[in-house]
């Protein structure tokens, strides 16, 4: 026990001492008798030697050596020696304490959020839901109400059958398992409109297709995968936003589905050209005529009169054929006078929304086979 | 070795006992260091009839000393019993 204590004392705080004086062997013998352990003693010359002793033995060694030997401490080692050294450097101590405190304080804040196991629910939606529950990067971890966050997830996403919400170090881990059955909006909570279409539209998985041909000017997507981009010319019936979303597997399951379906939503503005032909009477009855309804009472329409008539026809046509949000960008008129009529060729360039929903029939491919 | 010789070898604390390898010498039953220098270390064994043992060589480092035991590391040239 005493041996162990001496060893601990030596290794916790040891000093390298230089012994100067004649007959170092005498000092060594006396040190041995006094129980002082000397390690790695080097004889440098007839009057000099260097060795390691426990710091606690230094005073004893100096007492034994009396004035015949000069004992000088050269260096030290060991944790206690380091602690003694540090005690003499308050700035370093403050720096180390500050660093420790920064690490300790940082460990109380969430650095990252990892989400696994989701299939049809987009990761962004899960992150948004967590954020609404007070879990986001940088939040003070003890302030998180984990049970409330789990409850919010269950309420917002009724298709989730299992939730693991935990933290590992500074990372919050969310692991979910989803049900494969379709969720009705009644089951979903009041906040679920963002994720599951509500009301009558809930069961529809659909694409957005073009209801007329035109040049796509602008496309903004809420749900789905865009199939065209600004500047493209699309034919009537072309898919603009697909409701079939490819899915990347996040686990090693073999029967992982390769796609899932959503109700595609978005706005597609396009420039649609229209070519219309209007006809109008070439001759009109002159009010200043004889009043007997003879040929002399009729005169040919002037340009202004023909233009006014065709403008009126255009307005009527727009009201009947174009949606309310349509905007005439360009208009071109061309008159040609035939026997009794004036034929007006009108070219309109209209800016309008061209997207309409078209339901996706899931499983049709398989049933056909 | 006879049994008596083995018992004497194990329990005789008056005789110097030296274990020497290429770079290490271990003295046991040492009573005191008689002389120490850069190239030679002489130790004595026994109380009444002293026996001296000298190790010569170079670059000696006394690794451990105490409790009748001395461990020396360095280039060993010779061990003499006087």
The ipTM estimated for the assembled molecules is: 0.84
Is the CB of residue B4 less than 8 Å away from at least one CB of chain A?
no
Q: Is the dihedral of CA A73, A79, A84, A89 positive or negative?
A: positive
**Cβ separation of B62 and A41 shorter than 8 Å?**
yes
**Cα distance between residue A147 and residue A168, in whole Å:** 17
Contact A223, A262 (CB under 8 A): yes
Per residue in A96-139, pLDDT (tens digit) is: 999 999 999 988 999 999 998 888 888 888 999 999 999 999 99
Q: What is the C-alpha end-to-end distance of chain B, expressed in Å?
A: 25
Q: Is the pLDDT of residue A31 over 50?
A: yes
Interface test with B, best of A29, A47, A57 (most B CBs within 10 A): A29
Q: How many residues does chain A have?
A: 369
pLDDT score recorded for residue B26: 93
The pTM (predicted TM-score) of the whole model is 0.42
**Burial letters A32-48, b for 16+ CB under 10 A, else e:** beeebbbbebebeeeee
Burial of B19 (0-12, 13-18, 19+ CB in 10 A): exposed
Q: Is the pLDDT of residue A184 over 50?
A: no
Give the mean model confidence (pLDDT) for residues B14-25.
86
pLDDT band at A203 (very low <50, low <70, confident <90, very high): low
Please give the helix or strand (H or E) that residue A114 lies within, else none: strand A112-116
The number of beta carbons lying within 10 Å of the beta carbon of residue A58 is 16
Instruction: Quote the minimal CA–CA distance from A38 to chain B in Å.
Output: 6
Instruction: Quote the minimal CA–CA distance from A67 to chain B in Å.
Output: 20
Q: Is the pLDDT of residue A255 over 90?
A: no
Instruction: Quote the minimal CA–CA distance from B42 to chain A in Å.
Output: 10
pLDDT score recorded for residue A291: 60
Is the CB of residue A44 less than 8 Å away from at least one CB of chain B?
yes
Q: From edge to edge, which strands make up the β-sheet containing A112-116?
A: A112-116, A171-178, A160-168
pLDDT score recorded for residue A199: 43
pLDDT score recorded for residue A109: 92
Which of B32, B33, B66 is closest, CB to CB, to A37?
B66
Q: Is the pLDDT of residue A368 over 60?
A: no
Q: Is the pLDDT of residue A196 over 70?
A: no
pLDDT score recorded for residue A185: 43
- Domains in chain A: ranges and CATH: 2-84 (3.30.70.2280), 112-194 (3.10.20.310), 199-270+355-368 (no CATH), 272-350 (no CATH)
Give the mean model confidence (pLDDT) for residues B19-44.
89
Per residue in A350-361, pLDDT (tens digit) is: 999 898 888 887
pLDDT score recorded for residue A86: 83
What residues does A245 pair with on adjacent strands?
A: A260
**Cα distance between residue A241 and residue A206, in whole Å:** 9
pLDDT score recorded for residue A254: 73
Which of A25, A36, A43 is closest, CB to CB, to B60?
A43
Q: Which residues of A touch B65 (CB under 8 A)?
A: 28, 31-32, 37-38, 41
- Domains in chain B: ranges and CATH: 14-81 (2.60.40.2000)
Task: Average the pLDDT over each of A54-63, A66-75, A336-345 and give the range with the smallest value.
Answer: A336-345
Give the mean model confidence (pLDDT) for residues A68-93.
87
pLDDT band at A200 (very low <50, low <70, confident <90, very high): very low
Per residue in A294-321, pLDDT (tens digit) is: 666 778 788 888 888 888 888 898 888 8
Instruction: Quote the minimal CA–CA distance from A27 to chain B in Å.
Output: 10
**Cα distance between residue A197 and residue A163, in whole Å:** 23
**Cα distance between residue A211 and residue A273, in whole Å:** 13
Give the mean model confidence (pLDDT) for residues A224-242.
91
Give the mean model confidence (pLDDT) for residues B21-47.
88
Output the average pLDDT for chain A: 83
Tell me chain B's radius of gyration from C-alpha atoms. Answer: 13
pLDDT score recorded for residue B21: 87
**Cβ separation of B38 and A24 shorter than 8 Å?**
no
pLDDT band at A2 (very low <50, low <70, confident <90, very high): low
pLDDT score recorded for residue A160: 86
């Amino acid at each position: 026990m005493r041996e162990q204590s001496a060893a601990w004392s030596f290794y916790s705080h040891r000093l390298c001492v230089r012994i100067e004086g004649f007959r170092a062997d005498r000092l060594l013998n006396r040190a041995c008798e006094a129980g002082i352990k000397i390690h790695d003693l080097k004889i440098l010359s007839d009057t000099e030697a260097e060795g390691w002793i426990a710091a606690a033995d230094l005073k004893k060694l100096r007492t034994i050596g009396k004035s015949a030997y000069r004992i000088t401490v050269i260096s030290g080692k060991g944790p206690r020696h380091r602690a003694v050294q540090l005690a003499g450097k308050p700035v370093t101590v403050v720096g180390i304490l500050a660093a420790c405190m920064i690490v300790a304080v940082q460990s109380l804040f969430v650095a990252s959020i990892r989400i696994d196991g989701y299939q049809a629910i987009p990761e962004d939606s899960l992150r948004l839901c967590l954020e609404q529950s007070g879990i986001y990067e940088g939040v003070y971890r003890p302030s998180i109400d984990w049970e409330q966050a789990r409850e919010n997830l269950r309420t917002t996403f009724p298709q989730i059958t299992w939730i693991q919400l935990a933290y590992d170090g500074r990372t919050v881990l969310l692991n979910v398992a989803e049900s494969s059955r379709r969720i009705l909006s009644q089951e979903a909570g009041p906040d679920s409109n963002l994720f599951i279409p509500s009301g009558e539209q809930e069961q529809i998985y659909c694409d957005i297709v073009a209801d007329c041909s035109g040049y796509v000017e602008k496309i903004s997507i809420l749900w789905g995968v865009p199939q065209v981009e600004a500047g493209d010319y699309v034919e009537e019936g072309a898919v603009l936003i697909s409701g079939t979303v490819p899915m990347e597997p996040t686990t090693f399951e073999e029967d992982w589905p390769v796609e899932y379906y959503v109700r595609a939503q978005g706005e597609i503005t396009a420039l649609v050209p229209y070519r219309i032909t209007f006809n109008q009477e070439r001759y009109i009855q002159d009010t200043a005529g004889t009043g007997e309804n003879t040929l002399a009472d009729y005169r040919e329409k002037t340009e202004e009169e023909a233009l006014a008539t065709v403008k009126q026809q255009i307005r009527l046509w727009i009201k009947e054929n174009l949606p309310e949000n349509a905007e005439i960008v360009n208009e071109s008129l061309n008159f040609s006078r035939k026997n009794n009529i004036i034929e007006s060729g009108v070219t309109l360039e209209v800016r309008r929304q061209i997207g309409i929903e078209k339901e996706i029939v899931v499983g049709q491919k398989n049933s056909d086979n | 070795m006879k049994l008596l010789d083995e018992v004497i070898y194990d329990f005789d604390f008056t005789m110097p006992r030296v274990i020497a390898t290429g770079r290490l010498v271990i003295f046991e039953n040492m009573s005191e260091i008689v002389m120490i220098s850069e190239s030679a270390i002489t130790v004595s064994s026994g109380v009444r009839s002293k026996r001296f043992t000298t190790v010569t060589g170079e670059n000696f480092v006394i690794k451990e000393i105490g409790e009748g035991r001395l461990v020396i590391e360095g280039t060993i040239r010779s061990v003499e019993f006087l």
